[in-house]
Structure 1
Amino acid sequence: MKPSTRGTLAALATGVAAALGAAATPASASGTVPVPVPLEGVEHSLNMEVPTLSAELPLPVPGAPDGPRHVEGRLLPDRALPQVPVSTGLPGAQLRAPLPRLLGDQFDHLGVEVPAADVRALAPGLTLDAPLTPPDPDNFGLPGLKLPQAGVLTPVLQTVPGADIAMGPGL
């Protein structure tokens, strides 16, 4: 294969990879995927105003677990089963519904907006310790006996949800 053909193929492959990467970036960069709910068909078939609705679905992103750590005086490392962090979000939604006025042909609207909220979670973990002590020089280098220990690292969940309800003139 000629060097010019190789260069052309390399440039083409680079362009395709860049285009695919750019197409995938918006959804993964925002952390949510917009989901429009099409209600126009209902509006035209019933010949009346219907609410507009859209939603945002979060993309969960697992993090790197905090690995086991050696602790002096223990035979097994601390956090034998490490906690795994997960970042995601609560789903968001926007709803705008028409409210007919009692007198006249005009409409007001009721709007509800629930933005997607970030959620940080930490999966439960496990910590264990063996029923033996470290080697004891006073006991000819043999380990002593002790009670085994086991503990569960509690899960963590952090979020701050919110909502906005508004009412006003017009659609």
Structure 2
Amino acid sequence: MKQSTRGTLAAVVTGVAAVVGAAASPAAAVETVPVPVPLNGLENSLNMELPKLGGEVPLPVPGAPEGPRYVEGRLIPERTLPQLPVTAGLPGAGLRAPLPHILGDDFDHVGVEAPAADVRTLAPGLSVDAPLTPPNPDNYGLPGAKLPQVGVLAPVLQTVPGAELVMGPGL
């Protein structure tokens, strides 16, 4: 292959990789989708200032489950049905409402902001063990009997929600 052909091919591959990376990174960086509530038409028809309202809807992202763990002394792996992690968020909301100023014509505002909060969850899992022991060399390599074991791995939910109440001049 000629040197100029290699250079052209490298430039094309680099350009394609840059375009794919630029297109994928904003979608991967977005964790919530803003949801505005348009009240402009209602403001114009009623001829008054209405609250500004909006929200955020989180995008759930499933993770990779932790696979089964082999433990010495058990015939079946420890996590027979692994827990599935899902990362998402609580929906967020924002409201800014005009508040008439008593001493003048200006409007003050009162606002409530509840941003989307991260949520980390783990689905319930299952751990089972057979009613047999591993092969025993003292018993000619035959397994012994034991009580079966069943365990349920509890689901997990972790989040830290928050909200903010503000008052100030302007809308």
Does TM, scored on the shorter chain, surpass 0.5? yes
Q: Secondary structure at the match of 2:86?
A: strand
Q: Which amino acid aligns with 2:89?
A: G
Aligned to 1:134: 134
Which letter does structure 2 place at the counterpart of 1:36? P
Runs of 4+ in 1 over 6 A off after TM superposition: 11-17
**Aligned counterpart, 1:64:** 64
The unaligned stretches of length 5 or more in structure 1 are 1-7
Structure 1 vs Structure 2 CA RMSD? 2.4
Structure 2 gap segments, 5+ residues each: 1-7
The percent identity for this pair of structures is 75
Residue aligned with 2:73, SS: coil
Query: Distance between the aligned counterparts of 2:93 and 2:133, measured in 1?
Result: 56
Query: For 1:99 and 1:65, how far apart are their aligned partners in 2?
Result: 50
Q: Which residue of 2 aligns with 1:124?
A: 124
Match of 2:34 in 1: 34
Q: What per-residue deviation string (whole Å, max 9, x for no partner) do you get for residues 58-116 of structure 1? A: 11111111000111000001100011111111111211100123454332101111111
TM-score by length of 1: 0.85
Q: Which amino acid aligns with 1:80?
A: T
Shift of the alpha carbon at 1:26?
A: 2.4
Displacement of 1:55: 1.2
User: After alignment, is 72-81 or 52-61 more displaced?
Assistant: 52-61
How many residues of Structure 1 are paired with residues of Structure 2 in the alignment?
A: 169
Q: Check conservation: 1:96, 1:109, Cα contact below 8 A.
A: yes
TM-score scaled by length of structure 2: 0.85
Matches within 5 A, 1:10-159: 22-23=22-23, 25-102=25-102, 104-159=104-159
Which of the two has greater strand per residue? 1
